[in-house]
Amino acid sequence: MNEWLLITAGIVTAGALFYAFYKEYRTGKIIRGLQKMLEEATRGEFRESGYSEDEVSKLESKLADYLESSALSAANVKKDRDKIKTLIADISHQTKTPIANLILHSELLKESELTSDQRESLTAIENEAEKLRFLVDALVKLSRLENGIMVLEPKEDDLSRLVKEVGNTMRLKAEGKGLYLHTAEESERASFDYKWTLEAVSNIVDNAVKYTDNGGIEISFKSTEMFACISVRDTGIGIAESDIPRIFSRFGRLQSSREKEGVGIGLYLAREIITKEGGYIKVNSEPGEGTEFLIYLKK
């Protein structure tokens, strides 16, 4: 009797071990199969093959359907992105020449004998043409960023070189309004995409010049442990604290600035650029007390 009990126990134990090993093998096979499908999908090489009709294969089939659908969606996204890229290139190319011609003929007309009313209208045409050129350029750049056509490539560089270039570009406009524009002399390094960060900082300094009528603009550095900071401080009209979030919205313009030039997209583009680099922008301001933009870039 005891022998039969021992034999039965041995058979049960062996059966349990065999079942455990089988389950482990079966589970491993399923995981390896699913892993292979995902790896092929990641490489863009996934192709559905035959499956049996058991429950596991139903799961594999559903995953296969999902991966095929994902691959199709990715292909459609790429096609749409290519269409957008072509459209942006067409818009940029087709509008550049007419706008340049408007500005050129405005300059030529300035040399003619005009009445005061005609000269005033000519100035308005010239200003609107410049505004249109900036708007088209900004929208093209923004579309390229938002659709992933242009990718920022931050690398360590000297910020003082960038600040000096911004100063040299914007100083003439500032001095045309009787303003000073001072730039930092010290050196500061950070990780940033030179071309796109130049665009962002230039937009912020241009904004400072627009909304400053007396005094001027000071560009300096403020360093922290993790970030290098460019400070753009002006002596302009200032901004109420409740209005600060609105200045970064697309086409966001405050009621107090309606009479100033601008299209309301420069600061939005600047924030998009700095954010994509892993940085951020802060604003300190009070109405009538000027504004300070703080541009933080990773070191």
The three-class DSSP label of residue 130 is: helix
Q: Are 267 and 244 in contact (CB under 8 A)?
A: no
Quick: pLDDT tens for 70-121.
Answer: 665 656 656 656 666 666 666 666 777 777 887 887 888 888 887 888 888 8
Instruction: Return d(Cα 140, Cα 135) in angstroms, integer.
Output: 9
**Number of folded domains in the chain?**
1
- Asked if residue 184 is part of any domain, the answer here is yes
Quick: pLDDT tens for 162-175.
Answer: 999 999 999 999 99
Instruction: Return d(Cα 135, Cα 71) in angstroms, integer.
Output: 36
Quick: pLDDT tens for 209-267.
Answer: 989 999 999 999 988 888 999 999 999 988 888 888 888 877 656 555 555 555 567 88
* Predicted model pTM: 0.60
Strands 291-298 and 280-285: antiparallel
C-alpha distance from residue 179 to each of 160, 162, 197, 198, 256 (Å): 21, 21, 24, 21, 21
- Asked if residue 282 is part of any domain, the answer here is yes
Instruction: Return d(Cα 243, Cα 246) in angstroms, integer.
Output: 5
- Asked if residue 198 is part of any domain, the answer here is yes
What is the residue range of 180's domain?
Answer: 155-298
- Asked if residue 3 is part of any domain, the answer here is no
- Asked if residue 69 is part of any domain, the answer here is no
- Asked if residue 54 is part of any domain, the answer here is no
**C-alpha angle 106-109-114 in degrees, rounded to nearest 5:** 125
- Report the amino acid identity of residue 158: D
Please give the helix or strand (H or E) that residue 251 lies within, else none: none
- Asked if residue 218 is part of any domain, the answer here is yes
Residue 67: per-residue pLDDT: 59
- Asked if residue 169 is part of any domain, the answer here is yes
Q: The tokens of 73 are what? A: 């969606």
Residue 163: per-residue pLDDT: 94
CATH code, 281? 3.30.565.10
- Residues 6+ away with beta carbon under 8 Å from 240: 285, 286, 287
DSSP 8-class letter at 54 = S
Burial of 116 (0-12, 13-18, 19+ CB in 10 A): exposed
Strands 216-223 and 227-234: antiparallel
